[in-house]
Copies of this chain bind each other. A is one copy, B any other.
Amino acid sequence: MNSTTPASDVAALMTEMGRAARIASAHMAKASAAKKNKALKVLAALLRSHVDALKPANELDLARARHAGMAAPLVDRLRLDQKTLETCAQGCEQLAAMGDVIGEISGMIQQPSGIRVGQMRVPIGVFGMVFESRPNVTIEAASLAIKSGNACILRGGSEAIESNRALAALVQQALTAADLPPEAVQLVATTDRAAVGALITMPAFVDVVIPRGGKGLIERISSEAKVPVIKHLDGNCHTFVDDSADMAMAVRLADNAKTQKYSPCNATESLLVTVAAAPDFLPAIAAIYAEKGVEMRCCPQALKWVSGAAGAVVTAAVDEDWYAEYLAPIISIKVVSDVDAAIAHINTYSSHHTDAIVTSNHVHAQRFLREVDSASVMVNTSTRFADGFEYGLGAEIGISTDKFHARGPVGVLGLTSLKYVVLGQGEIRA
């Protein structure tokens, strides 16, 4: 199918996939940990043994992308080489090595009536995923679905369609080898955009949709979806340097949080520093930023402390800068009176993704953790650590900037739900 497929055919295709996913999800929900782990290990082996076999499909995508004039960094993300596939295989093996959370019962407490009430962790059911043109995401999503006992329907970027088809075939082969239903992981084979519209409006078959990609895509899916969405909007992350901060540590962290990599959502985009810390801290960090070519957009007070750095590109910040997610060698810098002003600024301008304080003051650290309303709040470390792998989740399917259901990096647990389990001995309600 392609973009000229009649809409009714796309709707019928998606309904059929939805129905198959729902049936598969019931099998996955009761599958043993052994079967799920076997599927993951077989998949890892298949990825390693198919490095060459996957090349033709991937070459088709790469050639089409180059022909269409896709920028080199984007073409690179399409590439399925031995290194990418090895990383995917290791991810599957890490998940297989983790304990199974499905079926775990917690909090079983006897109530006055005599019944015992606890909660059992169960899969969500079926998740849909709409993602950018990175074929490795197909494996990440599939492996998380398998481990969490869910079924999933994957819709990757059309630029990666050949690679995704080849990878999805390996996933289904691994599922079959483990005596699990291959329909547990289905790839939408059409590149027709109507498929996305159908996927996000089938509450009977899809329990949650996870979009990954640009802000425009995520906003469109959120506004049109008829099922819950785990969404990640922007990452305007802050690092705040308090009066009592260890200055060498503050400089090291502000450097790493901004310059270790410019494109990730967890890079620091805005630096706050107290009036008292500014004279020591700002000239030191400004020298590093100047050397690395990071433009500094400053409040009037910050301006005077950073302008002395040799080669510094310094401009006056405007209000939009405090909201901005640059994803580039640019940082906004503001001098604040104290920790209260920093918390107030962050809660006003932050995108509630990740914010860090550098301090030696215990009370300030505790207040920052409690009062900053963000998915990740940090003390004395780099915002760049906000990541499912660094948090020990094994893998992440996305990062949620919402407060509902899952917040922050979403791993296996974010794809589960808790149901109540009640054990009685014939008790009745009076």
A interface with B by C-beta (< 8 Å): 26, 29-30, 103, 109, 111, 113, 115, 117, 120, 122, 124-125, 207-208, 223, 226, 228, 246, 249, 252-253, 255-256, 260, 347, 356, 369-371, 373-382, 384-386, 390-392, 402-405, 407-409, 417-429
Which of these, B120, B207, B371, B409, contacts A403 with CB under 8 Å? B207
Which of these, B120, B356, B371, contacts A30 with CB under 8 Å? B371
Residues of chain B within 8 A of A115, CB atoms compared = 381, 385, 390
Assembled-state Cα–Cα distance A113/B255 (Å): 18
Residues of chain B within 8 A of A26, CB atoms compared = 347, 371, 373
Look across to chain B and name the residue whose beta carbon is closest to the beta carbon of A267.
B429
Residues of chain B within 8 A of A422, CB atoms compared = 356, 376-379, 381, 385-386, 391
Assembled-state Cα–Cα distance A382/B115 (Å): 10
- A381-B125 CB under 8 A given contacts A370-B103, A419-B407: no
Which of these, B371, B380, B426, contacts A424 with CB under 8 Å? B380
- A420-B376 CB under 8 A given contacts A109-B392, A403-B207: yes
Can you name 13 A-B pairs with beta carbons within 8 Å? A115-B385, A117-B392, A207-B403, A207-B404, A208-B404, A379-B423, A379-B424, A381-B427, A384-B429, A385-B424, A391-B422, A407-B417, A407-B419
Given contacts A117-B392, A384-B429, 4 further A-B pairs with CB under 8 A are A103-B370, A246-B426, A381-B424, A382-B428
